Amino acid sequence: MTSLDGPEKFTNLVTSWNQFDSTPFNEWVSDVSDNFFRSGLTLKMAANFLNTQPAELQAVINLAALEEENLALLAQLKPPNTTWFLLASASTEGLKAAIRALADARQAHSPFLLVDGAIRAVEGPNTFERIAGLRSEIFGHAARKAQAYSLLNEKGIKALKGWQKRVRSGKSLTPPQMTYADGLLRDLVEAGAVTRNSKDGDQEICDEILDALGYE
Amino acid sequence: MKSRKFDITPDIRLLVDIGEANYEVPQAISELIANSMDARFEENQVLVDVEINDEFISITDNGKGMTEQILAEALRLAAQMDSVTGNTKARKGMYGLGLKAACASLGKHWEIVTKPANDANQYSVEIDLSKWLKKRDRNNWEVEVKTGRHTRGEGLIGHLEHGTCVKISKLKQNFLMVTAVIEKLGMAYKPHLEGIDEITVNKTPVTPKVFTLVENRRYEIDIEINGHQVTGWYGLDTKTHNSGDYGINIYREKQLVEAWNKDFIRAHLMSSRVVGEIDLPFIAANFHKLGFNKTTEEWRLVKKYMTEELKPVVKASGQMSQNKQDNLRQAKAIRGLDVALGLISNEDQDFDGVSDTGTEFEAPKKTQKKPTNVISGNYQTLKIGEDEIPISYVFERLDETIPWDFIYDEDSGDLQAVINTQSLVYTETTDVELIARLALAEAVMGYSIKHRGADYSKAKENRDNWLHLAISSRRKAESKS
């Protein structure tokens, strides 16, 4: 009953989307996100109506989840859309650094890389980079532990063993491998194989994994 | 000045047209049950029996029944029933339209049989809208009320001492979802069902909707707004709701008028744990009781106060969604909410022996920051003609059927591939490096078509060339290392 019926649910969304130029950015983000959730449309359907890519609409929705105060920091700025995902996951300090960087460099070759650099400079390594910094034996141990606890599929275990060799030979994980490793290690944590109170005599390794993943 | 008087009796078609109200079947049945609840006999329990099949829908109650005159008045559009019945209590009925609008939206043939207490007779009316429309006199609004002796155990009233049965046949919809009706009534009449009243649908008892709340915590609402009391509760659901089934259910005189209202919160997946119920007896519902009249000053004030009241719980809902790597996020969100509401002090927070000096409402520490699922890579620059397009990629969560997508910034010429970590293509493949290259190649193709106006074959050529380069550079890099 609260979702709108009839054409209103589309027109409200389209109207708010089209007000990008005339509305402060933070208000525009809130309005679009609000109208999207009220419309009951799927991401793909809504993106079709708006003649945009689903990823761009998702980035707006992610931005709308920022704390109001943080979103308000973006009021006077219309950041390039390729920076929206980065901004949506940044801390308050990261956001401020990104805004400064965008204001200083009006014509960056790639706004995405500019903002990425500014946020990283303030926030330090992110989860994936911390994972990339793990020692080789940690990946091997994680693979053995997954086998012992009957966790992960064959591909996952193979990947962990592969990364053990890769890191031992001096190579670092590629960004896509970091993301995959994040998912695998998180599965081990959620299944209870990696904990702060390990009874398997591997507390140091467990702690390193948990620290890298950002667990307390 | 001359004047003439005109008869503006509406055309009889209005009785049919009123059925074009925006009622779905469960809502129409709910509206008819509102009359049953209003017709409570003395202080007795109201029993409502709903029967639904392919042929008809009937709603039978043990209310006080109607006399011949009241039955006739009940069929009048916009009848002022209180002046007819002498009722002084608050009722769900407001405009004298519910019975007719609900019946007309369900079907074309209505039969209403009623028996008042201490009356040996029963009174009945039959209306067939097909025949009704064939009347020659378009101003003829007469209905025929039949009076007959009630034989116990027979007819629509059956064994009831008093009560009313509304039976609608020649149904507009033949495919009726009984489960949807049961679910709707469980929410619509929750306050009644939690009390003494009972509703059955095809002999199945309707149970009041149960909320599954985090730590079973309900926060009471009891605020005075302009001399009116707003009462109710809110809490955090244990799950998020992508379906839109979250927000505040608003009741008026124990009848649900607006389900999952989101006027007090931001409609967002992050707020989708916020649920609650409030009673607003002092705000008028709209004609079909499918919402409130939101143009009044009272509503504006309710919105203002409720928005403020719900701020801490909205914040807690967002925090529970964000800090997924924190095993204590649920407990922290609740404690943070308690602190914000002044129910406990900061010092009282304790999570099973794990001390935590900061409250959930402080800025998160760097190491506890919400998990970023953004990871970037700068592959190379795409050269098309004279143009050099910087390409990057991020890993993000999108609709699971989308393997990857792209974003292009026209002002700076920045092209970005977005790889969906929820898609099967991602979760079922170990070579994420390859996925990233494929996604970038697709971004090149999408960009070529959408932003450079290339036809499919040219865009495909751009994609293939770029993919070839990307894969060969990967091989070279691997052989070097």
Q: Of A101, A124, A147, at which residue does a domain stop?
A: A124
Q: Do B377 and A155 touch (CB under 8 A)?
A: no
CATH fold for the domain made of B211-371? Ribosomal Protein S5; domain 2 (3.30.230)
Pick among A12, A180, A190 to test the B interface (most B CBs inside 10 A): A180
pLDDT in tens, A89-116: 888 999 999 999 998 876 667 889 899 8
Range of the domain at A98: 69-124
pLDDT mean over B373-398: 69
Indicate the pLDDT class of residue B18, thresholds 50, 70 and 90.
confident
> Is pLDDT at B38 greater than 50 in this prediction?
yes
Q: What share of chain A is helix, strand, coil (3-state, %, to 5)?
A: 65, 0, 35
pLDDT in tens, B401-420: 999 999 999 888 889 999 99
Q: Average the pLDDT over each of A6-10, A122-126, B419-423, B448-452 and give the range with the smallest value.
A: A6-10
8 A C-beta contact, residue B107 and residue B169 = yes
Q: Do A171 and B394 touch (CB under 8 A)?
A: no
Residues A21 and A89 grouped into a single domain = no
Quick one: B193 exposed, middle or buried, by C-beta within 10 A (0-12, 13-18, 19+)?
A: buried
Residues A110 and A156 grouped into a single domain = no
In the CATH scheme, what is the homologous superfamily, with its name and number, of domain B14-205?
Answer: Histidine kinase-like ATPase, C-terminal domain (3.30.565.10)
Separation between Cα atoms, residue B19 and residue B384, nearest integer Å = 61
Q: Do strands B387-396 and B255-261 pair parallel, antiparallel, or not at all (unpaired)?
A: unpaired
Residues A43 and A59 grouped into a single domain = yes
The DSSP code sequence of B63-116 is: S----HHHHHHHTSTT--HHHHHT--S--S--SS-HHHHHHHHHEEEEEEEEE-
> Is pLDDT at A26 greater than 90 in this prediction?
yes
Say if pTM beats, i.e. exceeds, 0.90: no
Helix (H) or strand (E) holding B250: strand B247-252
State which residue of chain A sits closest to B355, comparing Cα positions. A216
Pick among A33, A112, A207, A215 to test the B interface (most B CBs inside 10 A): A112
| Cβ–Cβ contact A187 with B under 8 A | no
B281/chain A closest Cα distance in angstroms: 19
pLDDT mean over B317-325: 67
Domain count of chain A?
3
Residue spans of the domains in chain B: they are 14-205, 211-371, 377-480
CB atoms closer than 10 angstroms to residue B336: 23
8 A C-beta contact, residue B269 and residue B321 = yes
